[in-house]
Structure 1
Amino acid sequence: MKKLLNTVYITTEGASLRKDGENLVAEVEGTERARVPLHMLASIVVFGGIYVSPALIAAAAAAGITLVLLDRNGRFQARIEGPVTGNVLLRRAQYKASDAPVEIVRSIVIGKVMNQRAVLMRALRDHGDSCAAADSEAIAAVTDRLARIVRRAERADDTLEQLRGSEGEAANLYFSVFDHLIRAPDPELRWTGRSRRPPLDPVNALLSFLYTLLTHDCRSACESVGLDPAVGFLHRDRPGRPSLALDLMEELRPVLADRLALALLNRRQLRAGDFETRDGGAVMMSDDARKTVLSAWQERKKEERLHPFLGEKAPLGLVPHLQAQMLARHLRGDLDAYPPWLWK
């Protein structure tokens, strides 16, 4: 099984990164703050104005370590990586499948909706007694409707557009009760609906940041098995968009991202004061809040869960890689269908 390598996140404005022997060295104002062997790294993610030495860039590219540049708010800017080593035959199979992707999309939609439903059912099980009766009833009603969407998606006669419609309907239902899952006392940390580019409230700012991290991991997973991250199935092709990485993250984000966001808010690790509103209404996390989220994200990726298809326990951080492998095996003809990852 693939080894879960580390991702280094550099968030301190003005920091510098350099290569020293076979190590990455991070310095702030000339003082060494961290030293990590390159062979332990899968990627380096930097936020904002951080200097990266040419020698480190070259060494990372040669070692297959991806360097990702984000602005200080977590918005993607660029990737620097070495030569693409994808299997041309696998990519040809991927391109061919993208012309008629109904069965792959069906698996992705079923996996996503079932995991959304599992998140809601876990919330009812763990906190149903402390919720208002109306909130519990609303969550239960949505879980029932999500179950019906899954049954409908399982029908073999659904078209691609019908499946995309089912995915959108499920997302609307899921987020319609998302506020009932938040038990934070701060009135500013309420959920009123999804907003992006820019996020307009703290919860959306947190979710968008976590989705950026998950997208990065899913893109790396696609590339690691030789798939083209730009050619997807559920998401339409668009220049500059990693459509396949977005496909892969759909079934994972209710568990890996949404549940982590809820945990950070409900455990009061993040409070209203950790967010700030900019001109134009955009809401962003403070530097300290971002570090809290990154630390929690790394810890969550170490947690192990049983992979329902493989029957083996694996760290959550490896799940994107395992799913990319399952998709590649299906495209090669080794598996009859793509098996989604289901959280239980």
Structure 2
Amino acid sequence: MNKSVLYVTIPGACVHQEHGRLRVTKGKELLQEARIFDIERVVIVGGSAGVTSTAATALMEAGIECAFLSSTGTFRGFLAPAKSRGAAVRLAQMAAYTDPTRRLELAQKLVVRKIKNSSTLLSRYTRNHPERVFKREQDRLFAAQHAARNATSVESLMGFEGEAAAAYFSAFGQMLGGGFRFTERSRRPPRDPANSLLSFGYTLLTSEMTGAVVAAGLDPAIGMLHSLDEGRPSLALDLMEPFRSAVVDRLVLHIANNRMLSPLDDFTQDASNGPRLTDPARRKFLLAYEERMTEPFRPQKSGSATCLRDRLRREATSFAVALRDNKPFRPFALP
């Protein structure tokens, strides 16, 4: 049976637990209701929405994580069920982090795969839109990929990843339709609606990967590519790199090019946070995100059906096994 993610987006809403069911209410109004058995994750969006201690306890006992995002999509943290296992994996993770050779090897795998997936997305777009030619961008991606393979430090590797991202996003803006405009990637705050969608999507992906990392017995703060930074889930950011184009970038292109959202009607302008999705538009985006994450597909080298959410979780588990058993790690390839 497929389980679902419960998103709580209404300001002032609260999640309660009664007799094995989660009830989302605002005042005396019942907004949503579901059996805990049918939920695999809870996402609270907005600072004024919340969850009671009784509901939080029930979620932890059921092994269900609860993520908290700001109204603009910033990942704030999450509640995760306590786990007693994973000590050996975390020791191996620390050993890899402190071993310059092993750390660089793992970081290179992630960056090279991210660049490959970005290039694959551009190639597939041009097959359906032969009027678009991205030769210059593809050449830059190929050069960055080659340089990343031969990087001699994590710092230089980050530089090559940045060069690849600049080339990729130069093409990304040309693929966007529906009135969306995009010239370059901007964050904190995003300067336009397209960047706002990307940031929100990446935040959702970060929260999911952080949960997957913890469930695999790993420490989300100790990454191989992203450096240690207080409060940042560096390993989750590492492992989600190959997923960015497959999940969020394709989703934003789908939403924009099918005019599911309007850059004029579905955003409000905030002086501090840039363009923000309206509440109805945010719910549309979340629905499309869920469809993207749960859509079944068959990997090229496997006959068994899966979905992006399952692959994301398996990515964290595979990484943990590679660390623990000192084996090669093969990151996610765009299906």
Work out whether the TM-score is over 0.5: yes
Other-structure match for 2:29: 31
- AA at the equivalent of 1:180: Q
- 3-state SS of 2:189 partner: coil
SS of alignment partner, residue 306 of structure 2: strand
Equivalent in the alignment of 1:243:
234
Task: Give the drift of 1:212.
Answer: 0.5
Does residue 221 of structure 2 align to residue 230 of structure 1? Answer: yes
Residues 89, 218 of structure 1: CA spacing in aligned structure 2 closer, same or farther, 3 A cutoff? same
Which of these residues, 137, 152, 157, is aligned with residue 147 of structure 2? 152
Q: How far has the Cα of 1:280 moved from its partner?
A: 4.2
* Selected match of 1:102 from 95, 101, 104: 104
Q: Structure 1 residue 86: deviation in Å?
A: 4.2
Which structure 2 residues correspond to residues 1-344 of structure 1 after superposition, within 5 A? 5-48=3-46, 49-99=48-98, 100=100, 101-129=103-131, 136-137=132-133, 139-155=134-150, 158-184=152-178, 186=179, 189-272=180-263, 273-280=265-272, 282-307=274-299, 312-333=304-325, 335=327, 337-344=328-335
Shift of 1:145: 2.4
CA deviations 1:98-122 (Å, max 9, x no partner) are: 1220110111011100011011111
Distance 1:261 1:71, change over 3 A: same
Task: Give unpaired runs (5+ residues) of structure 2.
Answer: none
> 3-state SS of the aligned residue for 2:297?
strand
| One-letter identity of the residue aligned with 1:343 | L
Deviation, structure 1 residue 281: 6.6
SS at match of 1:191: coil
Q: Given the superposition, is the C-alpha separation of residues 31 and 280 from structure 1 closer, same or farther in structure 2, using an over 3 Å criterion?
A: closer
Distance in 1 separating the partners of 2:31 and 2:277: 23
Read off the aligned partner of 1:146 and give its amino acid letter.
Answer: L
Q: In 2, distance between residues paired with 1:264 and 1:158?
A: 39
Alignment root-mean-square deviation, CA: 1.9
Determine if contact 2:80/2:211 at 8 Å carries over to the other structure. Answer: no
Distance in 1, Cα, partners of 2:152 & 2:223 = 19
Instruction: Please give the TM-score of this superposition, normalised by the length of structure 2.
Output: 0.92
Aligned to 1:314, the other structure's residue is in SS state: coil
1:154 Cα deviation from its structure 2 partner: 3.0
Identity %: 33
Number of equivalenced pairs? 330
Query: Where in structure 1 are there 5+ consecutive unaligned residues?
Result: 130-135
Task: Assess if the C-alpha contact under 8 Å between 1:94 and 1:227 holds in 2.
Answer: yes
8 Å Cα contact 2:318/2:329 also seen in 1: yes
The amino acid across from 1:83 in the alignment is: A
Give deviations 1:283-330, integer Å, cap 9, x for gaps: 111111100110001111112233456664311111111111111111
**Structure-2 separation of matches of 1:143 and 1:311:** 31
Tell me, yes or no, if the aligned pair for 1:4 and 1:317 is still in contact at 8 Å.
no
Distance apart, 1:32 and its partner CA? 2.4
Normalising by structure 1, we get a TM-score of 0.90
Deviation at 1:152, TM superposition (A): 3.3
Deviations 1:115-148 (A, max 9, x none): 110111111111223xxxxxx33x2221122123
Distance (Å, rounded) in 2 between the aligned partners of 1:331 and 1:311: 27
Q: Is the partner of 1:251 in helix, strand or coil?
A: helix
Separation of aligned partners in 2, 1:310 and 1:338: 17
SS of the counterpart of 1:9?
A: strand
Structure 1 residues 32 and 265 mapped into 2: Cα distance closer, same or farther (>3 Å)?
same
Stretches (4+) displaced over 4 A? 308-311
CA shift, 1:84, in A, is 3.8
- 2:216, 2:333 → 1: CA distance? 21
Contact 2:75-2:204 at 8 Å conserved across structures: no
